[in-house]
């Protein structure tokens, strides 16, 4: 009986670690990442989805869509603030730097806009095919 209780406690501890502690540590590690590293991780997740969309479940797809939407909005806001700074700038070198920043923001906006469109189409496709199951 004593061995059974030890085995039961061991399985319970393993379950606790795998399903509660590990995701909590992972979530905390993502919160500690810099903006650049976090976006690199999001791009990696999106590329993983692009390579094999069937391996991504519906919940992860919805979360990826939400994060892509936030990234898209972030880059749009950054671009508008850079454009405001560009309108007020008088130094030629700073103007050139700000124009380069706008070009970079445009690239990010195009990427995340395409990602949003792709993710929304995939969600709609899944909803359409899931409607046949009901």
pLDDT in tens, 4-52: 888 888 888 888 888 888 877 877 776 676 777 888 888 998 999 999 9
Q: What's the confidence (pLDDT) of residue 80?
A: 94
Residue 86: predicted pLDDT: 86
Which has more pLDDT, 47 or 1?
47
Cα–Cα distances (Å) from 66 to 1, 42, 125, in that order, read: 50, 11, 17
pLDDT in tens, 68-82: 999 999 999 999 999
Residue that wins the pLDDT comparison between 21 and 107: 107
Residue 33 has a pLDDT of 66
Instruction: List Cβ neighbours of 106 (8 Å cut-off, separation of 6 or more).
Output: 79
119 touches 65 (CB < 8 A): yes
Q: How far is CA 100 from CA 8, 80, 88, in A?
A: 61, 14, 16
């Amino acid at each position: 009986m004593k061995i059974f209780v030890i085995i039961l406690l061991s399985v319970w501890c393993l379950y606790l670690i795998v399903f509660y502690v590990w995701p909590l540590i992972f979530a905390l590690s993502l919160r500690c990442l810099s903006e650049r590293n976090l976006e690199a991780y999001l791009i990696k997740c999106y590329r993983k989805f692009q390579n094999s969309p069937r391996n991504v479940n519906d919940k992860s797809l919805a979360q990826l869509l939400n994060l892509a939407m936030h990234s898209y909005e972030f880059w749009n806001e950054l671009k508008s603030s850079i454009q405001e700074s560009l309108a007020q700038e008088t130094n030629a070198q700073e103007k050139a730097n700000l124009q380069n920043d706008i070009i970079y923001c445009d690239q990010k906006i195009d990427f995340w806009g395409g990602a949003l469109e792709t993710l929304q189409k995939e969600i709609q496709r899944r909803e359409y095919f899931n409607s046949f199951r009901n």
